[in-house]
Amino acid sequence: MRKAMLSMILTTTLAAGGCSSAGNPLLEEWDAPFGVPPFAEIAVTQYEPAFTAALADHDAEIAAIRDAAEPATFANTIEALDAAGAGLARVSNVFYSLNGTMTDDAMQTVARTMAPILSRHRDAITLDAGLFARVDAVHARKADLDLDAEQAMLLEETWKGFVRGGANLDAAAKEQLKQLNEEISLATLKFGENVLNETNRFELVMDDEADLAGLPASVVAAAAETAIQRGHEGKWVVTLHKPSFIPFLQYAGNRALRQQVFEAYAGMGDHGDELDNNVLLVKIADLRAHRAQLLGFPTHAHYVLDDNMAGTPEAVYELLEQVWRPAVARAGTEADDMQAIIDAEGGGFDLAPWDWWHYAEKVKKQKYDLDESMLRPYFEMGRVRQGVFDVAGRLWGLEFVQRTDIPVWHEDVETFEVRDADGTVMALLMTDYFPRTSKRGGAWMNSLIKQRYVDGERVIPVIFNVGNFTKPTADTPSLLSMDEVGTMFHEFGHALHGMLSDCRYKRLSATSVARDFVELPSQIMENWAFEPQVLDMYARHYETGAAIPAELKEKIRKAKHFNQGFVTTEYVAASFLDMDWHTLAEAADEDATSFEQVSMARIGLIPEIISRYRSPYFRHIFSGGYSAGYYSYMWAEVLDADAFAAFSETGDIFDPATARSFRKNILAKGGTEDPMELYRRFRGRDPGIEPLLVRRGLQ
């Protein structure tokens, strides 16, 4: 039945006169291994015609489903909807992958052009009364249908997507919703563009060697390389890319320059100029609030959380409060330790936010005889990545074979064929780890081709990990910080979720899960990163090849709770800020700066720390997918700390039975079942918060 339905859709599409693919590689078959697109052959001018053709084809597919003469069935309506839009997904996946990693003015123009068009296209499907009538008819008969668990979930999620998208609204409300969605799509896109441009435009140019006091040789070399790239040869440049400004804040002895760099970071999007985001973010919050109310929810947070594990804003605030109280108390103690060093050195000033990283390093050196410069030589990027691969090999028998015959979008990109223990090819993994002006900040995972089944055959996913890690210099390879090592393990966990997915339907596969569940596979991987036996697998000196010494591993172990007050406080503060913005019934009259100040004062954020992201550059919530969802990392950490305890309790962090269960019940399942049921099946019980508090040293 499914083959017949797909054949009917294709026939109808061709009869409707889909756009010709001649000369446009985005619309032609890709013959590279794994179906990877020919990046070098794609011109920016070809995206809009490709989108136009793909949208027309998808419209024809939808019309064929809606107008079918046969009564609505699970196969001809629900499965057909899931299968439709393959061409649009191909074009979208390529464009948005490259707009995040290789953007420029021309790409951003395409993004701005397509944002309202794609918004209208999505709304046209969701708000199509005839189409929803067929979906609703199948859903109404669900008790009488012989569906397995995955089919039942696809039906429920499809129906819920229509309802949450406004299918039950009257005609006037549907028009209002379309306008809101279009405005939100453009505003969020503009917000992200502004943050990228703000990140790229700042540079601290130093021409006096005295200003380099305290900086390790590797940081000085990186600043010199950046200066050459930015046209300041013979000088040193610090930017707002994390591998540049964080080491500067940690080690620079010049306090005034630390303040200059920190305030540039903290002031992004907050200068009252063409890149200012304050008015824009208030508009986004207000539009979201009105959309939620149109759909029957009090606030945007209620709308978002209704579809997440947390369920309600009250549940999120309760979790944040549980962690906040011990975290901010711990942060106060950490601040006292730093102030003591400032006073002992005769500093004559009070600890300020631009001092925290600098004096945290001094405290770590004083208490644990440990600092980043001692560790970086053992964390060469290639070895760390191999360590990540080796952990996956120990846990699930995976093998990663480098491929050099795969098209890539930049010379920094490397590709690996991923094989299961029995030799089955599971996925292709692509990694893109170094910052550039064309790449947005942060780290993420996404897919060019998503896992699913077509005619009984598993589609091999093409997954990529992106980072902005410390770049190699002319004399030194990429040497990572501990934070960067943890980030690599984290994003690889997301990649595993995509690579080991074994789901029939693309709507449910891989990372298509509740936002506060999606971080479980990523965050649990961080637990292995600094385990002594794992360090033995990858931590070797980049010059000598010597294994990391036992005394350094012991220092890492002893310092595992170091600075956790700060790390937890700045994160939870940002989570509160997100929730406060998105529990507003309306935001139009808010002043962004005042609102943020009141929000942070209410929770008692200490003056030495700012929220991890201030509102004007909080891209996760104002241009990403984490609005009313930034708390998800903490919610998932409750799960991942408890889940890793399942390994530890066996006495073997690579316990085969526990690893098999995690793969079967979490990594392979995508969104095919209720996430808490999946977790209970793995763990045998509900998770508890105690392992999280213990791990962070907050209990």
- Quote the tokens at residue 245: 């400004």
Give the rounded distance of the alpha carbon of 134 from its chain centre.
35
- Nearest Cα to 288, choosing from 666, 581, 610? 581
**In terms of C-beta density within 10 A (0-12 exposed, 13-18 middle, 19 or more buried), how is residue 152 classed?**
middle
CA dist., res. 328 & res. 335, Å (int): 10
Q: How open is the CA angle 405-410-412, to the nearest 5 degrees?
A: 85
Which of 182, 361, 491, 590 does the annotation list as catalytic?
A: 491
Amino acid code (one letter) for 62: I
CA dist., res. 361 & res. 241, Å (int): 20
Q: Are 53 and 87 in contact (CB under 8 A)?
A: yes
Phi, psi of 478 (to 5 degrees): -65, 115
Given the structure tokens 């070809």, which residue do they identify?
46
- Quote the tokens at residue 16: 């409707």
CA dist., res. 615 & res. 497, Å (int): 30
- Quote the tokens at residue 74: 């699970």
290 Cβ neighbours under 8 A, 6+ residues apart = 180, 586
CA dist., res. 377 & res. 479, Å (int): 6
Encode 265-283: b = buried (16+ Cβ within 10 Å), e = exposed. Answer: bbebbbeeeebbbbebbbb
Largest Cα span, the chain: 85
Assign residue 576 a region (left: φ > 0; alpha: ψ between -120 and 50; beta: otherwise): alpha
Give the rounded distance of the alpha carbon of 114 from its chain centre.
22
**Complete DSSP assignment for 592-607:** HHHHHHHHHHHHT--T
Grouping H, G, I as helix, E, B as strand and the rest as coil, residue 635 is helix
CA dist., res. 353 & res. 86, Å (int): 49
- In this structure, the number of other CB atoms found within 10 A of the CB of residue 81 comes to 23
Does 491 participate in catalysis according to the annotation?
Answer: yes
Given the structure tokens 């003591």, which residue do they identify?
340
CA dist., res. 538 & res. 358, Å (int): 28
Q: Are 439 and 101 in contact (CB under 8 A)?
A: yes
93 Cβ neighbours under 8 A, 6+ residues apart = 446, 447, 448, 449
CA dist., res. 693 & res. 699, Å (int): 5
Grouping H, G, I as helix, E, B as strand and the rest as coil, residue 462 is strand
- Nearest Cα to 282, choosing from 626, 615, 613? 615
The residues with which 399 forms a beta bridge, in sequence order, are 419
| Element of type H or E holding 225 | helix 217-229
Question: Annotated active-site positions, please?
Answer: 491
